[in-house]
Chains A and B, each alone.
Chain A
Amino acid sequence: MSSLIELCNWINDSASSTAIRESVLVFPIVEGIHLLAIGVSAGTIALTDLRLMGIIMKKDPASKVLRSILPFSIGGFIVVLITGSLLFWAEAAKSYRNPWFRFKLIFLALAGLNALIFHTGIYRRMNIWDNDDTPPGKARMAGAVSLVLWATVIWLGRQFAYSS
């Protein structure tokens, strides 16, 4: 663990980290973009989750909904990841010490794991249930779990900002 502290301290002391942290404009702008991208990414993920749960766009094949909406989710998420990394870079030492940040990373990993399980599992057999109004239990579960996990990630991110 101690080497992780050292790494975070080293990042924190680097010229680039200090520059972002102390800039009047860069930090707020990066944070603003982070928030907008969360909106687009998490919002569209929620829409696909609702389709998997059999709640919206029932008349359209699930594959069509996913194929059409996922580009927003993935594009938005890439922006979230880049801006989030920059924010971490600027406050690495503070982030390391903050328990909320650790919980956030754990739930982020869980959300990724949920997506992985879905995509390597029931998603592969989508041709069987593509036109079903109500997808099979595993797909509905994946949607519901995704909704809860992403909401938790956002909540933890907010807590993190308040307690640092």
Chain B
Amino acid sequence: MAFHYVRLFFQWCDGTALGAWVRGSTWQFPMIETIHILSLAMLYGCIAVISLRLMGLLMKGWTVRNITREVTPYLNWSLGIILVTGTMLWLSEAMKTIDNIAFWTKVVLLFSAIIFHFAVVRRVTRADQVSRGTGFFVGALSLFLWLGIGCAGRAIAFV
């Protein structure tokens, strides 16, 4: 029953002027998706550096706190651009995604990753010292969540 309202909301999204514009002509969708993927690359670079440092695998010349501080502006900006372009792409084909299991997997992973990043990773990386076990666990989970979003996102086109 509740899903009925989700369907109505998706239909409304599908009908927005922005969605129609993105869907409209030949160049909008590819261009927006290119920006989406370029930002994804920037984000993944930052996530890889922070996560693998937390796991104690690479970048040992930096403290967790310093390396996180260096890349955080780039991470935040690329995440912002990804969310904006991703929403635009989604508006253009909302109804196509409603029954797509990969899409819902992506949504769940995305919200989990964002909450995990700002509630846990940011807190852990602000500490002076991170124990090895905590660092490894938090870094690995962060990497898993963000890479999972990419996998699920790619799968939307194939499911």
A residues neighboring B (CB under 8 Å): 28, 31-32, 35-36, 38-47, 50, 56-57, 60, 64, 68-69, 71-72, 151, 154-155, 158-159, 162
Contacts and interface: CB of A to CB of B under 8 A. Distances in A.
A69 B34 contact: no
Nearest to A67: B61
B150 A69 contact: no
Q: Specify which of B40, B45, B46, B52 lies most central, judged by the most chain A CB atoms within 10 Å of its CB.
A: B45
Interface of B: 30, 33-34, 37-38, 40-49, 52, 58-62, 70-71, 74, 147, 150-151, 154-155, 157-158
A44 B44 CA distance: 8
B40 A68 contact: no
Contact of A72 (B42, B52, B61, B158): B52
Contacts of A154: 34, 37-38, 41
B92 to A, nearest CB: 14
Given A28-B158, A60-B62, A154-B37, A36 B46 contact: no
A159 B48 contact: no
A39 B151 CA distance: 12
B70 A57 contact: yes
A156 to B, nearest CB: 9
B45 A40 contact: yes
B61 A155 contact: no
18 contacts: A28-B154, A32-B151, A35-B37, A39-B150, A40-B45, A40-B48, A43-B48, A46-B41, A57-B70, A68-B58, A68-B60, A68-B61, A68-B62, A71-B58, A154-B41, A155-B34, A158-B33, A159-B30
Given A39-B43, A40-B48, A57-B70, A32 B62 contact: no
Given A60-B62, A154-B38, A40 B155 contact: no
A35 B62 contact: no
Contacts of B154: 28, 31-32, 35
Contact of A40 (B30, B33, B37, B44): B44
Contacts of A35: 37, 40, 150, 154
Q: Specify which of A36, A43, A47, A56 lies most central, judged by the most chain B CB atoms within 10 Å of its CB.
A: A43
Contacts of A72: 45, 48-49, 52, 58
Contact of A43 (B45, B59, B151): B45
Contacts of B62: 60, 68
A107 to B, nearest CB: 14
A57 to B, nearest CB: 5
